[in-house]
Amino acid sequence: YKQLNVDDPAAYALKVVGLTAWNKLITVGALVGIFTAMITMLLGGSRLLYALGRDGLLPDSMGSVHVKKMIPDHAVIVSTIVAAVFAGLVPLMELASLINAGTLIAFALISFGIIPLRHRKDIVNDGFKMPLYPVLPVIAGLLSVYFIWMLPNTTKIMVGIWLIVGIIVYATYGIKHSKLQN
């Protein structure tokens, strides 16, 4: 177990005990998993840019859809360029920490956001109800914040910078152009 401080501990362990076929299968599975995660992140990022553009928080071109292909082509291109720049300039471990931070921030916001949304009368919800409300959302939100706190300091600094950039874009462009504000 002391030798498992490598990038691929499961595949390495199988290789050490002589199960090289399983080692290769685990490696291929990990590569497929990484590829699908990258595609999912690019699609999610482009849809986020599309939604922000459609709502006026980013330029209108981000919220446009290609006439024939019916995809938000500008948002896909921008999110792909941003992902490529990050992949080229940020070391893999720091990139993974940034992705973890972004996911944890989303989980925390969703967990805490459920509490006021549950009390709104203008949103009809006859379906899903949060179990153990409001205890479970608070626990989930606090655990997400705790895990953010446990991330490396460089990750927290980079996320802080990214949030500041987002706030500046919102304050200088988004407020003026927001369709919800108007």
pLDDT for residue 163: 92
Query: What is the pLDDT averaged over residues 29-55?
Result: 89
Whether residue 84 is predicted with pLDDT greater than 70 in this model: the reply is yes
Give residue 121's identity as a one-letter amino acid code.
K
Query: What is the pLDDT averaged over residues 85-90?
Result: 89
Domain borders along the chain are 1-89, 91-182
pLDDT for residue 142: 98
Q: Which of 23, 43, 42 is nearest to 31 (CA)?
A: 23
- Do the Cβ atoms of 145 and 108 come closer than 8 Å? yes
Instruction: Give the separation between CA 57 and CA 179, rounded to whole angstroms.
Output: 8
pLDDT for residue 35: 87
Query: What is the pLDDT averaged over residues 108-119?
Result: 90
